[in-house]
Structure 1
Amino acid sequence: MLNKLKTTLIAGAVSTLALLPLGGVADQLTDILEKGTITIGVPENFPPFGSVGADFEHEGYDVDIAKLIAEDLGVELELKPITSKQRIPFLTSGTVDLVVSSMGANPERAKSVWFSSAYAPFFSGAFAAPGVTGGTIEDLELFKALPEGAELIRFGDNAATLSAYLAGQVDVLVTGNTVATGLVAENPDKALETKFIVRRSPASIGVKSGESNMQQWVNVFVLHKKLGGVLNELSVKWLGQELPDLPSL
């Protein structure tokens, strides 16, 4: 009876193992290399990170990063333009393999997806013409550290803020670095310098939760492009600035 019970247990174990997929746990990186294609989500309309250019082709900092990822993997690239709200749902559902869409890493988002080391600078700051001094407000909260005699003027949206700066109604522009870059691109005579940074939120590449091999590869990719000067070239090309120090995970 004992031998019969042992035989039954062994047979049951063998049957269970036969139902498991060959090769163990699925690995996204291996799957991508085998199928020869990667789908990457990029900004739908958020220049200079991603938008439709004059030739009706998608272009921008994040688009160039996506192209480099596919090139280094040796696979074909399928670009998937997405909105900010689609970034995490598309990643968790498997609609895209990676998200390269100026997404900042934070604890709340990290509950759903994983992140790479930062690959692009993104921050809110105070910008002004080269002759305007930043005073003594570096590294301090803006509203608590305005110099004596300074007047703070708030506007309802970016368009109104930019119009006021271009019209000379304000001397210092407080906005995102990408907005400031776009203003200079459209108005070359309006030189701007970063006087101080209000808040940093560098962009990371979004990776599906649990895909440790893919996250490791992406981190090596970011490090390789940083050390090789490629990220600096893209920063100058699209953001109009040298690449600052970026945090690593």
Structure 2
Amino acid sequence: MKTMLNSALKSAVVALSLLCLPVVAHAQDALESITKAGVLKVAVPQDFPPFGSVGPDMKPRGYDIDMAELIAKGLGVKTELVPVTSANRIPYLTTGKVDLVISSLGKNPDREKVIDFSLPYAPFYNGVFGPEGLSISGPEQLAGKVVGVTRGSIEDLELTKVAPATADVKRYEDNNGTISAFLSGQVELVATGNVVAAAILEKNPPKKPLLKFLIKNSPNYVGINKGETALTEKVNAIITAARADGSLDAISKTWLGAPLPASF
């Protein structure tokens, strides 16, 4: 009886081991395929500057483009950039048209059911911005200050939650109105997104909007197919190294006009 029990137990262990083999093999598939092909196919934006757009030379440019090149270099392969929209970027990944999504992709519970995510690689946030000489480090210091914001925007809603009653919040109908109010001196500070602030900085105005403090943070992540453990670990290692050696900070300065936030 004992012999039969041991035999049955060994058979169960062997069967379980065999069941696990395909899972382990699958976890290596994407990284092995990329390495063997010598090419990393990456979904990138083409109409969302400064993360991705088409330059005057008709070549893709932007934060996400540089990030794709950085990861490909870390993998020791070439890059194949695949332009996508917000609607099709995840389907392109799940159907195997691309290996990674680097397209200003935020993380949320619904997306986490479908794909996996890397460590964050780019800051995407709403904050309060102002000129260099103005010392502001938190919402309580907005008391008595004039702050511009676009009416009905996320930053308007978030600013309303934290601004003291004595802050003079002036609301404008669109981002252009908010930006113009800041540049012309109608307001001391603006509550806006870092992408909008980067667009202002790119024009190199005399009055530069520099980040004073964050209102809401929603960084960007690399999208990776479910179960691709080896590829996820490798991408995370590349991002971690890029943070440590300053490469990621350099990309942020190039495209967002500012270093990575201290809390990033």
Fold in common (TM above 0.5): yes
- Structure 2 CA distance for aligned equivalents of residues 55 and 31 of structure 1: 32
| 2:167 match | 150
Q: Which amino acid aligns with 1:86?
A: N
Find the aligned partners of 1:121 and 1:245 in 2 and give their Cα distance. 11
Q: Paired residue for 2:8?
A: none
Residues 140 and 163 of structure 2 are in contact (CA less than 8 Å); yes or no, is this contact kept in structure 1? Answer: no
Q: How far apart are the structure 2 equivalents of 1:44 and 1:96?
A: 15
Of residues 230, 236, 239, the one that matches 1:222 is: 239
Q: CA deviation at 1:148?
A: 4.6
Write the distance in 2 (CA, Å) between the matches of 1:203 and 1:138.
Answer: 28
Distance 1:187 1:237, change over 3 A: closer
CA distance in 2, matches of 1:41, 1:138: 41
Cα pair 1:138 1:197 within 8 Å, conserved: no
Are 2:38 and 2:77, in contact at CA under 8 Å, matched by a contact in 1? yes
**Which residue identity lines up with residue 191 of structure 1 in the other structure?**
K
What is the deviation of 1:57?
1.3
Partner of residue 11, structure 1: none
User: Shift in Å at residue 241 of structure 1?
Assistant: 1.7
Q: Is the 8 A contact 1:118 1:246 kept in 2?
A: no
Deviations 1:164-183 (A, max 9, x none): 32333332211111210110
What runs of 5+ residues in structure 1 fail to find an aligned partner? 1-16
Structure 2 equivalent of residue 13 of structure 1: none
Pick aligned residue for 1:51 from 50, 53, 58: 53
Matches within 5 A, 1:7-156: 24-25=25-26, 27-134=29-136, 137=139, 142-156=159-173
Which residues in structure 2 correspond to 1:188-207 (within 5 Å)?
188-207=205-224
- Spell out, residue by residue over 1:55-83, the C-alpha distance to the aligned partner (whole angstroms, 9 max, x if none): 22111111111112222222221111222
The answer to whether the aligner puts 1:244 opposite 2:246 as a matched pair is no
1:33 and 1:139, CA in 2 relative to 1: closer, same or farther beyond 3 A?
farther
CA contact (8 A) 2:118 2:232 kept: yes
d(CA) in 1 for partners of 2:78 and 2:218? 30
Q: How many residues were matched structurally?
A: 228
Contact 2:51 2:64 in 1 (8 A): yes
TM-score (norm 1): 0.81
30 and 116 in structure 1: CA distance in 2 versus 1, 3 angstrom threshold? same
What do the CA deviations read for 1:145-203 (whole angstroms, capped 9, x no partner)? 43454332333332332233233333221111121011021143122221221101111
Q: Which shows bigger deviation, 68-77 or 31-40?
A: 68-77
Q: Which amino acid aligns with 2:70?
A: L
Does residue 213 of structure 1 match 2:215? Answer: no
Secondary structure of residue in 1 paired with 2:50: coil
Normalised by the size of structure 2, how large is the TM-score? 0.77
Tell me, which stretches of 5 or more residues in structure 2 are unaligned? 1-17, 143-157
| Distance across 1 between alignment mates of 2:263 and 2:189 | 26
3-state SS of paired residue (1:221): helix
SS in 2 for 1:84: coil
**Which residue is 1:233 aligned to?**
250
Measure the CA separation in 1 of the matches of 2:131 and 2:241: 35
